[in-house]
A = this chain, B = another copy of it.
Amino acid sequence: MAATMEKVCVLGSGNWGSTAGKIVASNAARLDDVASEVNMWVFEEQVDGRKLTEIINEDHENPKYLPGVKLPENLVAVPDAAAAVSGATLLIFCLPHQFLPRLCASIKDAAAPGARAITLIKGFDVDDDGIVLLSEYITAQLGMPCAVLMGANIANEVAREEFSETTIGYHHEANGKLWCRLFQTKYFRVAIVPDPVAVELCGAIKNVVALGAGFCDGLKLGNNTKAAVIRIGLLEMRQFTQTFFNGAGELTTYFESCGLADLITTCYGGRNRKCAEAFVASGKSWDELEAELLGGQKLQGTLTTIEVIKAIDKAGARGNFPLFTAINAICFEGAAPSTLFDNLVHDDALVSRM
């Protein structure tokens, strides 16, 4: 039934984008209602004297961003974004946050009528009117609904087909079920929830909590303290969602992979935790640490902390976010790391938020 055939395009070919491409292409090959060939937009670059798109299409591997992992032969690298999207009914966004505006402009009207999107990008913007979710931005720019996929998903581990889980947040149940069929595998278990805003914000805000966890490590505090910071951080993540998005932030959503599982992973591994630990241990500035530990890349957690506090201040709500407020004070206001716990409210107040 060609009339109802779905056509998939993955936008982005980094570490996570290539992994997502591997998953959906392997499923597309076996799903009757999805065209086998999956396009993946690849920002063209030279690798060992060859074009990256050529390497992917001939060797079926992405040696620069996902080395050592065999990609399905039906995953086709395309250097032109509009050409990659042409005729697609299912768009998967998985590229660096800052490239999103230019990409959206370049693919306007290229997709098929009735196309739907899903974003795997972690982050959000804040403009004069407040928080702008990337899913909202994609919908506004391209006029299509946009679901979100977030979870405890370190790309290399998923690409090695180690068991993990993920969470898809949907606005329309039918779309949620379709995305689930496209991403679900035996080693990658998908749960779908009708709470897309909470799922998307989990992916962004977890990095703020990870800074708090890293401060605990830098202070050489034990597992009790770190677990408390993770727990309170999860509650403030929900509090933030409920404060700025009416009706979003179901308690059950935070029990999904996008909630506590991704937060645990981020607070025990990950660059944000690592840099925050070094921030305490070394006393160096964030710029110095980004240069030394991240090769000059920007740290996501500190950028997100700035946006989170901007939003909280706009609502005059610092009192409701004692942990986020303390993390911001330690990051940017010269507060001593040991002050992390000074204003943590009594649990009864946190419990009452549930």
Contacts and interface: CB of A to CB of B under 8 A. Distances in A.
Interface of A: 152-154, 156-158, 162-165, 187, 189-193, 221-228, 230-232, 234-235, 251-252, 254-257, 260-262, 264-265, 268-269, 340-341, 344, 346-348, 350-351, 354
8 contacts: A152-B223, A158-B224, A163-B221, A163-B341, A164-B227, A227-B265, A252-B351, A264-B264
Most buried by B among A192, A221, A222: A222
Contact of A260 (B234, B341, B350, B351): B234
A255 B228 contact: no
A224 B226 CA distance: 19
Contacts of A232: 165
A344 B191 CA distance: 13
B264 A224 contact: no
A347 B347 CA distance: 30
A198 B5 CA distance: 49
Nearest to A152: B227
A106 B190 CA distance: 55
A54 to B, nearest CB: 31
A269 to B, nearest CB: 5
Contacts of A254: 255
Given A164-B228, A256-B347, A347-B256, A154 B223 contact: yes
B231 A257 contact: yes
Given A351-B193, A351-B252, A162 B221 contact: yes
Given A221-B162, A222-B162, A223-B152, A348 B192 contact: yes
A27 to B, nearest CB: 15
Given A152-B227, A164-B224, A255-B231, A191 B348 contact: yes
Most buried by B among A222, A225, A227, A262: A227
B347 A191 contact: yes
Contacts of A251: 251-252, 255, 354
Contacts of A252: 251, 351, 354
A225 B163 contact: yes
